[in-house]
Amino acid sequence: MTHGIKVEDGDQLGKTIIFAKNQPHAEFICSRFDANYPHLAGHFARAIVSEYSYAQSLVDDLYNPNKPPLFASTAIAFGADAVVDRRGRYAEA
């Protein structure tokens, strides 16, 4: 949280994806984040796995700069059709 790339004039951590090896690993990563940052628990960090019926909705939210999650742990392989520059702006790939 202190060493990541910042957006919003340095006030907010930029959106981040961590690739997990499987669903339990993705959920573990998010549970550790929630334990360390309880005031952000449940909405800032989200596991995105294909077994979730709402996985596509989470991916869509990840690409939306105005919606959480800001940190995603994913165990799915998906093609990115958007890229984020260092300032958190979105552009087509």
pLDDT tens over the chain, length 93 residues = 677 777 777 777 778 888 888 888 888 989 998 999 899 888 888 888 878 888 888 888 888 877 876 777 777 554 444 445 555 555 544
Distance from C-alpha of 32 to C-alpha of 91, rounded to nearest angstrom: 31
pLDDT at 46: 86
Give the model's pLDDT for residue 32: 93
How many domains does the chain fold into?
A: 1
Per-residue model confidence (pLDDT) at position 81? 45
pTM over 0.85: no
Return the percent helix, strand and coil in the chain, to nearest 5: 30, 25, 50
The answer to whether residue 44 sits within a structural domain is yes
Phi-psi region of 28 (alpha: psi -120 to 50; beta: other; left: phi over 0): alpha
Residue 88 inside a domain? The answer is: no
Is 84 part of any domain? no
24 lies in a domain?
yes
Query: Does residue 73 sit within a domain?
Result: yes
From the CB of residue 67, how many other CB atoms can be counted at a distance below 10 Å? 13
* Confidence at residue 93, expressed as pLDDT on a 0 to 100 scale: 44
In a domain, 48, yes or no: yes
The CA angle 49-65-38, to the nearest 5 degrees, is: 60
Is 54 part of any domain? yes
What is the residue range of 30's domain? 13-78
Q: According to the model, what pLDDT value does residue 60 have?
A: 85
Tell me if 35 is assigned to some domain.
yes
Q: In terms of Cα–Cα distance, which of 47, 20, 45 is closest to 35?
A: 45
